[in-house]
Amino acid sequence: MPSHGALPLRTTDVVPANEEALMELLSVLVYAAVVVVLLFDYTNGFHDAANIIATPIASRALTPIQAVTIVAAFEFLGPILGGTAVANTIGKFVNLDDVAAILSVTVILCGLSGAIFWNLITWWFGIPSSSSHALVGGLAGAVLIAVGSDHVIWGFSQLAQGHFTGVTKVLLALIISPIIGFWAGFFIHRLVFFLMRGAKPGVNKFFKRIQIFSCAGLAFAHGANDAQKSMGIITLVLINGGILTEFVVPFWVILACATAITLGILSGGWRIVRTVGFGIFKVRPIHAFDAQLTSASVIFTASVIGAPVSTTHVVSSALMGIGASERPKAVRWAKARDIISTWVITIPGAGSVSVLTYLVVNAIVGVN
């Protein structure tokens, strides 16, 4: 495991001659880390949240401007009213308490760089990968290379006792949620189809109108889950920077993350809209409503129990389940396989970028 004894454990341990300079450096790193987290939150907005507006646009229930306006408003409310359970989970799956303040903040910065890089690459190619996976992979990779596996809360021993915590809780949530999304979408669509049997073609107008509410609900759920991930990382930075003494998310952090992810939504994400809205199967109003209802239910439930999930995973798997329940041959499974393969490589991909970033930074400035 790399040694990290060259730096003080906390700024209060610094010898007086160097204290002021190191305090200034630490302050710069903390401010930089907060900005980078908000940048990640912004990329999350135009990358992940594009999945929210994909189905109402593809089903022609809402115009792009209408969809973005509704989603932006409720996305902003999600982090403010959705609590901090997910933030607590994300902020506590690594433990940097006994690591030098400067080193710990640098490690978090390197981890974020891996997540942001992966978000930008997959967005550019229109691949709906998971920002949540990228964040976990990036942060875990940087911590492992910099200070070793002992500083990652794996949660294996707690799992044997029936408790979900650390990396185990994060990964289980990310793995199980798309499975739940698929089967929930499958059965919800069957139920709605049964209830609507014999309905006249005009029922499509009903499903178009009601998407104003289902789309708003999905946006709120997404904001309540995804923005909390950034809230958790910023709070982790503030603790390791000596600004906070306990893990309590300040209101200004909630407000900043809500603003950043909302601005990301307003910036677009059309490449992914095309993949999710048109690339899996032909979406009609009933499909769009069922997908939004399913996804909002799964994501909001996860937010309440503090489980970080991927909106990309849940929406895409819900659409696959809906398509499979109606006509499996109508689902473009080749596109689905492409999406799944990207999900699998996201954690190691983002982790590799963060490891490389740390090695370069360490070689240049010698933080370790």
Helices (H), 48-165: 50-58, 64-81, 85-91, 101-124, 131-147, 156-160
- How many residues would you count in the chain? 368
Any idea what DSSP says for residue 8? -
Work out the average pLDDT over 298-311: 92
Is the distance from CB of 224 to CB of 303 less than 8 angstroms?
Answer: yes
Share of the chain residues as helix, strand and coil, in percent rounded to the nearest 5: 75, 0, 25
Q: Identify the pLDDT of residue 48.
A: 67
pLDDT in tens, 77-134: 999 999 999 999 998 889 888 888 899 999 999 999 988 888 788 777 766 677 778 8
Burial of 246 (0-12, 13-18, 19+ CB in 10 A): exposed
Question: In the chain, pLDDT over 90 holds for what percent of residues?
Answer: 38
CA 164 to chain CA centroid, nearest Å = 19
Q: Identify the pLDDT of residue 270.
A: 52
**Is residue 1 a part of any domain in this protein?**
no
Query: Could you identify the residue written with the tokens 């239910």?
Result: 297
Q: Identify the pLDDT of residue 50.
A: 66
Q: Identify the pLDDT of residue 268.
A: 64
Q: Identify the pLDDT of residue 7.
A: 41
> Is residue 212 over pLDDT 60?
yes
Work out the average pLDDT over 253-272: 82
Q: Kindly state the tokens that stand for 174.
A: 């990310």
Specify the range with the lowest mean pLDDT, choosing from 259-263, 281-285, 292-296, 353-357. 281-285
Nearest 10 degrees: CA dihedral of 307, 312, 315, 318?
-80
Mean per-residue pLDDT over the chain, rounded: 83
Helix 285-304 to helix 203-240 angle (10° resolution) is 30
Burial of 1 (0-12, 13-18, 19+ CB in 10 A): exposed
Rounded Cα–Cα distance for residues 112 and 109 (Å): 5
Q: Which residue has the higher pLDDT, 25 or 220?
A: 220
Residue 193: band (very low, low, confident or very high) from pLDDT cuts 50, 70, 90: confident
Query: What count of other Cβ atoms lies within 10 Å of the Cβ of residue 70?
Result: 20
**Is residue 356 a part of any domain in this protein?**
yes
DSSP letters, 326-363, are H-GGGS-HHHHHHHHHHHHHHHHHHHHHHHHHHHHHHH
Q: How far is CA 8 from CA 5, 20, 102, 273, in A?
A: 7, 13, 8, 48
Rounded Cα–Cα distance for residues 16 and 76 (Å): 45
| Closest among 210, 209, 175, 222 to 46, alpha carbons compared | 222
**Is residue 4 a part of any domain in this protein?**
no
Q: Identify the pLDDT of residue 190.
A: 92
Q: Identify the pLDDT of residue 166.
A: 82
Rounded Cα–Cα distance for residues 135 and 132 (Å): 5
Residue 236: band (very low, low, confident or very high) from pLDDT cuts 50, 70, 90: very high
* Residue-number span of the structural domain to which 301 is assigned: 11-365
Q: Identify the pLDDT of residue 146.
A: 93
**Is residue 339 a part of any domain in this protein?**
yes
Work out the average pLDDT over 225-237: 94
**Is residue 191 a part of any domain in this protein?**
yes
Query: Could you identify the residue written with the tokens 């954690």?
Result: 347
Q: Identify the pLDDT of residue 142.
A: 94
> Is residue 4 over pLDDT 50?
no
Q: Identify the pLDDT of residue 310.
A: 84
Q: Identify the pLDDT of residue 364.
A: 85
Q: Identify the pLDDT of residue 12.
A: 45
**Is residue 3 a part of any domain in this protein?**
no
**Is residue 6 a part of any domain in this protein?**
no
Q: How far is CA 129 from CA 84, 103, 106, in A?
A: 24, 30, 26
Work out the average pLDDT over 252-266: 92
Q: Identify the pLDDT of residue 14.
A: 44
CA 155 to chain CA centroid, nearest Å = 20
Quote the number of domains for the chain.
1
Query: What count of other Cβ atoms lies within 10 Å of the Cβ of residue 310?
Result: 29
The HSE-up count of residue 321 (CA atoms within 13 Å, CB side) is 27
pLDDT in tens, 12-49: 444 455 777 778 888 999 999 999 999 889 988 877 66
**Is residue 5 a part of any domain in this protein?**
no
Q: Identify the pLDDT of residue 279.
A: 52
> Is residue 5 over pLDDT 60?
no
Is the distance from CB of 299 to CB of 222 less than 8 angstroms?
Answer: yes
Residue 260: band (very low, low, confident or very high) from pLDDT cuts 50, 70, 90: very high
Q: Which residue has the higher pLDDT, 343 or 87?
A: 87
Specify the range with the lowest mean pLDDT, choosing from 34-38, 177-181, 193-197, 211-215. 193-197
Dihedral sign computed on CA atoms, order 272, 276, 279, 284:
negative
CA 29 to chain CA centroid, nearest Å = 23
Query: What count of other Cβ atoms lies within 10 Å of the Cβ of residue 85?
Result: 18
| Closest among 346, 277, 366, 324 to 117, alpha carbons compared | 346
Residue 51: band (very low, low, confident or very high) from pLDDT cuts 50, 70, 90: confident
Q: Which amino acid is at 233?
A: I
